[in-house]
Homo-oligomer: A and B are copies of this chain.
Amino acid sequence: MVSGKVSDRHSYEQRLDHLVERTGERGLDALLVTSDESIAYLTGFRPVQLERFFGVVVAPGQSAVIVPALDRGQIDEAPPQLIRISYGAESDGMPELAEALADARTVGVEEDHLIYARARALGERGFELAPAGSVVMGLRIAKDAAEIERIRAACELVEAGLRRAFEWLSPGVVEHALNARVEGWLREQGASGAHPLILFGENAANPHADPGPRELREGDVVCADLSACLDGYWGDLTRCATAGPASDWATRAWQVVLDAQRAAIAAAQPGVPARDVDHAQRQIVEAANGLGACLHGAGHAVGLSIHEPPFLVPRADEPLVEGSVLTIEPGIYKRGVGGIRLEDDVVVRPGGPKVLSTLPLELVQLGA
């Protein structure tokens, strides 16, 4: 977060003020923010959590940031409204947290992050916890122009990474080595995080397979899912290729997924239930079930986290929000054969969805 530090700092203060307000509106005495990304959203500091406790206490009276002594040198940029609390190796941070929560009784927590041990420790000290992740995400979900620009810049880097990956691919290249090379390249370009998942042939039939020792062979399909974090924000794209001419299966699967992606992007309108975006892709992929299975939802939001709510799955009924950035990534998977997925990052807005990447969706023929 080197660029725009002054305006960022301004944002941190504004975000904290908004969150204090919403905490009060929700009837909470305090809100405990614990996830890396929410802490970064409020302070500009992304912790290395491991086993140590980090938190921001948001409260109408006095807000605070709590970090291990080890990290106290890193919160200088946090908003001045936050009092700084650090604890040494003799503490697990819970006494300091309890002190910061002071006489709060009902404490909202990020229920998808706070671990059971800490929830229990707070309960034993008399605090009553309430799930309130949506209070923080209610702010984080709508990205401002500066955030969207950062996601776009991350997508641009990922596009360059995909181009490289396809240049470097030819029969005999080892799956694991290619993924390592692409990851190293993304990091050398300045990515603070990068997750290439480039899978060959039948490995691509498992969307989350581990890259292994398998070599690329003539006739393989390649499913290349790349994500990178640049300046705090993630971009996440998937494109596919074939080694040699595409098989009949690959061509047909790609066409189905392309149609499904178009339909899902078109459905991503403000106010529409998140599950409708999934439904748009699912009915197309499932109708082609001779070609393979529909193994996952249409996508997820992306921002400071690579995966953040809303998740575009059948059970998600929350309406889409203007300014959200969603991955739209239908896929079709046939065990023993391969997988095809196409993924773009899309801004939800009243004028119609805006795709943040420009890389063609074509089924690339390697070396052609």
Seen from chain A, the residues whose Cβ lies within 8 Å of a Cβ on chain B are 2, 46-48, 50-51, 68-71, 73-74, 89-92, 109, 111-117, 119-120, 129, 131, 133, 176-177, 179-181, 183-185, 187-188, 190-192, 205-210, 212-213, 278, 295-297, 300, 306-307, 309, 311, 313-315, 335
Contact = CB atoms under 8 A, between A and B. Distances in A.
Contacts of A314: 89-90
Contact of A71 (B71, B74, B191, B208): B208
Given A70-B296, A184-B181, A205-B73, A192 B210 contact: yes
Given A2-B213, A70-B208, 12 more contacts: A46-B210, A50-B307, A68-B296, A69-B295, A71-B206, A73-B209, A89-B313, A89-B314, A90-B315, A115-B115, A180-B184, A184-B187
Contacts of A181: 184, 188
A73 B335 contact: yes
B180 A112 contact: no
Kindly report how many copies of this chain are found in the complex they form together: 2
A188 B184 contact: yes
A28 to B, nearest CB: 15
Contacts of A109: 116
A206 B119 CA distance: 29
A1 to B, nearest CB: 9
A147 B27 CA distance: 51
A111 B120 CA distance: 9
Contacts of A92: 315
A70 B307 contact: no
Nearest to A295: B70
A278 B88 CA distance: 13
Nearest to A47: B208
Contacts of A90: 313-315
Given A120-B111, A183-B184, A300 B51 contact: yes
Interface centre among A188, A212, A335 (most CB of B within 10 A): A188
A190 B206 contact: no
A101 to B, nearest CB: 16
Contact of A111 (B91, B117, B300, B311): B117
Contact of A185 (B50, B177, B184, B209): B184
A205 B70 CA distance: 10
Contact of A115 (B111, B129, B188, B208): B111
A187 B192 contact: no
24 contacts: A46-B210, A47-B208, A50-B307, A51-B307, A69-B295, A69-B296, A70-B207, A70-B295, A71-B206, A73-B209, A74-B206, A74-B208, A89-B278, A89-B315, A113-B116, A115-B115, A115-B116, A116-B116, A117-B131, A117-B133, A176-B190, A180-B184, A183-B183, A183-B187
Nearest to A213: B2
